[in-house]
Chain A
């Protein structure tokens, strides 16, 4: 029997950004960059491990907006345009740096990488990365779970319980459609937990959730194993708490691995560094400079004078950091062994986009970690949360504490002076959605289409990303516009339904724009 267990959980999510009305949309690049820098590298990492016969276990939460975007033909084709442009830029970079060997090697590396991405995306995965994750799940080594429908921050949506129910039920429907069964677990958006949501999780067959450390540590009564074992709520949902130390090793801005001086610097990018006329075809059409993804420098230190990036040295560091991560867990097990009567579980949840996008070497670190873990199954064994429940079903009953993984652990990132104005509007729209769902129990034709679109607009307005962006003070105008747009569209539909004055042409335009959740049924909003 293993002395301890490690549950790696990655949460992959991006807000639903799809603008068919415009060819070159800055925020759509979030998806394209994440495909190249995170999702393809992660698939490659897990597929390689599988082909090498490594017995690894990873849990991945794929949010419904991400599933919707990755299966959307328009965005798939736009990704191909993006990647073709990147290949073109890399080829020019190979020529430009021909007399700068320290950069030329990197330009060749990027050119090869993007050509490989193109080939994998088109030929290996047939443009559908969700299908690729689904195939991985069939190996039993990857467990896919879901998240709320549009990543709504549930503790602040609960004023209308129907909104929480819809966020959970629609997410489960999307998951079932793509993976053929209900998800066993749910990543609560921003790990935002309040007790009121459990009923809807159970209704939808969700057995477990991931919550922040103090969600477990401040539970009532005090969990005897701290975060080193899950707890089960009085209603019956199993809650896994984040391990504090392993989170710090990866997340910490000061001591976290991604900040190592040999790793690639995120900020220095040729989109900002090179001559405008040269880089102009690869930045925004209005001439605004952006990150292209081609970066030649390493973090180097707390200095503006960066040194060239050396991928061989960085690769060796991922080996070292993977060993360090394991060694720290094993030390922790040694300490816990004398204080616990069963093997401890370390739950390590991370944003998937940390790996590759922010921490360029992250997927390689993950690959090394999982490979090393496979060599010490008697000491530390990888596990998925549902496997752990099956192996250790006797769990302490405790009520978790309301919590989130945002700054200071509660609701303040999504509720502060920069974004609090949205909640009265979201609340009003939620009440109205319930009202029109109740008023039209068996709608057909145009009314039904309008009700379904109203549900989509409300869900899109509820995305936690908009409030987060407003607080982060970057791209604020876009976040405000998205909130306003969805609420305005919802309000028009509401009045058009109430006044029996639906505009079919306008509605079609909105359906074309906001085409998320094509199978949604507005009845999910009927009164509880």
Chain B
């Protein structure tokens, strides 16, 4: 007998406490998503939109590819809390949301996920090559007290010295020329 098992309260009960969605890549192509919609969100939804709409609208995942600024919706079954999706988008930056699709034009998000980059699956043929001397660079900036330096920069003062826009520069040039 293991007395410790009985001591867990909600660790394995499956009781949803808050809305959340997390994404992790399984490999360059497949994304694993797990999510929870809290009982509170469920109740709030029903109190605003009614029981009928909760039952007759779809729980959806919104998958957003931040690399090419596209997204798509995927229906998920109400009793599921995780899914593997074959995105086939290596090297893309991905975010997801869990929400309810009320109609074709009306989507209510409950929670947004972390942002991940799907792993790369190939050799990247980039030509630029930079080397550094790691023994030298390792100490650069190590003995600098950045906090002290930044003490000198007050926000209001900094704003006075913001780089002028190119228009400003041309105006100043004209002024200088006139002078």
Which A residues are in CB contact (< 8 Å) with B130? Answer: 396-397
Identify which of A220, A488, A489, A495 contacts B126 (C-beta below 8 A).
A220
Closest to A232 in B: B134
Whether B114 pairs with A218 at a CB distance below 8 angstroms is no
* Min distance, Cβ A487 to any Cβ of chain B, angstroms: 5
Q: Assess the A402–B135 pair: CB atoms within 8 A.
A: no
Any chain A CB within 8 A of the CB of B26?
Answer: yes
Residues of B within 8 A of A429 (CB): 11
Query: Measured between C-beta atoms, what is the minimum distance from B33 to chain A in Å?
Result: 10
Q: How far is the CA of A308 from the CA of B25 in the complex (A)?
A: 48
Contacts of B36 in A (CB 8 A): 424
8 Å CB contact of A488 from B8, B25, B127: B8
Question: Which residues 486-520 in A have Cβ within 8 Å of B in the complex?
Answer: 487-492, 495, 510
User: Are B135 and A389 interface neighbours, CB within 8 A?
Assistant: yes
Known: A159-B24, A485-B4. A395 touches B132 (CB 8 A): yes
Q: Are A395 and B131 in contact (CB under 8 A)?
A: yes
Within 8 A of B (CB), among A233-271: 236, 238
Q: Is the CB of B119 within 8 A of A401?
A: yes
B131→A485 contact, CB < 8 A: no
Chain A residues contacting B30 (CB-CB under 8 Å) are 412
Residue pair B34, A221 in contact (C-beta under 8 Å): no
Contact B4 A489 (CB under 8 A): yes
B-side contacts of A303, CB under 8 Å: none
Residues of B within 8 A of A481 (CB): 2
A393 at the interface (CB under 8 A from B): yes
The interface residues of chain B lying within 8 Å CB-to-CB of A416 are 26
Check A410 against B119 for contact (C-beta < 8 Å): yes
B11: which of A222, A393, A410, A488 is its contact (CB, 8 Å)?
Answer: A488
A340 at the interface (CB under 8 A from B): no
Q: B157: CB under 8 A from chain A?
A: no
| Docked-complex contact B131 and A396, CB < 8 angstroms | yes
Contacts A393-B134, A403-B119, A410-B119 given; indicate if A219 touches B124 (C-beta within 8 A).
Answer: yes
Select from chain B the residue with minimum beta-carbon distance to A208. Answer: B134
What residue of chain B has the Cβ atom nearest to residue A485's Cβ? B4
Contacting A415 at CB < 8 Å: which of B4, B32, B136?
B32
The answer on a CB contact under 8 Å between A222 and B124 is yes
Q: Mark A213-226, 1 if CB is under 8 A from B, else 0.
A: 00001111110100
| CB pair B24 A424 closer than 8 Å | no
In this complex, how many residues of chain B approach chain A with their Cβ under 8 Å: the count is 43
Task: Given the known inter-chain contacts A232-B132, A424-B34, please indicate yes or no for A415 contacting B26, CB distance below 8 A.
Answer: yes
Contact-residue size bin, chain A (C-beta under 8 Å from the other chain): 35 or more
A32 CA to B131 CA in the complex, in Å? Answer: 46
* Per-position 1/0 for B129-151, Cβ under 8 A of A: 11111111110000000000000
Task: Specify the chain A residue showing the minimal Cβ separation from B2.
Answer: A485
Find chain A residues with CB under 8 A from B129 CB: 221, 224, 396
Asked whether A408 is an interface residue with its Cβ less than 8 Å from the other chain, the reply is yes
Q: For the complex, is B9 an interface residue (Cβ under 8 Å from A)?
A: yes
B63 at the interface (CB under 8 A from A): no
How far is A484 from B121 in the complex, measured between Cα atoms in Å?
Answer: 35
Known: A217-B123, A218-B121, A397-B132. A491 touches B8 (CB 8 A): yes
Residues in B19-36 with C-beta less than 8 Å from chain A = 22, 24-28, 30, 32, 34, 36
Q: Are B28 and A410 in contact (CB under 8 A)?
A: yes
Closest to B14 in A: A424
Query: Which of chain B's residues have a CB closer than 8 A to the CB of A427?
Result: 22
Asked if A411 is at the interface of the complex by the 8 Å CB criterion, the answer is yes
Q: A375 to B25: give the CA distance in the assembly, Å.
A: 47
CB distance from A281 to the nearest CB of B (A): 28
Q: Say yes or no: is B5 at the interface (Cβ < 8 Å to chain A).
A: yes
Please determine whether A428 and B120 come into contact, CB atoms closer than 8 angstroms.
no
CB-CB under 8 A for A156 and B24, given A232-B134, A238-B134, A424-B34? yes
**Quick check: A411 and B5 within 8 Å, CB to CB?**
no
Could you tell me if B8 and A492 are in contact, using CB atoms closer than 8 angstroms?
yes
Cβ–Cβ < 8 Å partners of A410 in chain B: 25-28, 119
Residue pairs across A and B with Cβ atoms less than 8 A apart, 26 shown, are: A156-B24, A218-B120, A218-B123, A218-B124, A221-B128, A222-B125, A232-B134, A390-B135, A397-B130, A401-B120, A403-B119, A410-B119, A411-B26, A412-B27, A415-B32, A420-B34, A423-B22, A423-B24, A423-B32, A424-B81, A425-B11, A425-B12, A428-B11, A488-B4, A491-B8, A492-B8
Ranked nearest first, the 5 interchain pairs of A and B with the lowest CB-CB distance are: A221-B126, A488-B8, A410-B27, A393-B135, A402-B119
- 17 more contacts with CB within 8 A, not counting A159-B22, A393-B133, A491-B8, are A155-B24, A207-B138, A219-B124, A221-B124, A232-B132, A232-B134, A238-B134, A396-B131, A410-B28, A411-B24, A412-B30, A420-B82, A424-B34, A484-B12, A488-B4, A488-B8, A492-B4
